[in-house]
Homo-oligomer: A and B are copies of this chain.
Amino acid sequence: MIANDGYAAMTTNKVAERAGVSIGSLYQYFPNKQVILVSLLEEHLAHVHPVIERSLDELSDPAVPYVEAMHRMFVRLLALHRDANPRLQRALGEEVPQPPHVREQRRRREAEYTARVATILRDRPDVRAYNPEVAAQVLVEATSALSRWLAHEAPPDLDREAYVREAVRLLTAHLQPTRP
């Protein structure tokens, strides 16, 4: 994909080159660099959304054990991050000044995910959270951060399997109703 060296290297000419079109063609479809990069971001988000939705559906299904559902979600996020170029994500997600409607949409979507998780924490019989809203917030951040780290920053000799197991343990243990 695009972006190998951070935002600085995301020149419009390189974007065009890697997209396999001329710079002129790129500007036939996009009015300027910001819009080019933002639409790369939107494309990515559109790709990510259904995967998360599916994972949340699974997480809200009482027939699937909580730990099991969490494990599956973690593995899916991992795959998602693997497909994506982390530099691109960072550049798109944080460096590119985003137009308000995109910022708003991202915010809304994240809030939506968190709200769904809060509901799940409240509703699942095999889970007990003192403050579901905040717990959901924490959970979403931790899940996202751990899967991203494993996908992009973990040293190559790390035991991936063990990491996933340990991560899921951390992400689930504190909500077990059987804790004293």
Contact = CB atoms under 8 A, between A and B. Distances in A.
| Secondary structure of the A contact surface, majority rule | helix
Contacts of A141: 145-146, 149
Nearest to A129: B166
A138 to B, nearest CB: 5
A100 B165 CA distance: 32
A174 B169 contact: yes
Contact-residue bracket for chain A: 35 or more
Contact of A134 (B95, B135, B163): B163
A7 B5 CA distance: 13
Contact of A7 (B8, B163, B176, B178): B8
A179 interface: yes
Nearest to A149: B141
Nearest to A140: B149
Contacts of A146: 138, 141-142, 145
A6 to B, nearest CB: 4
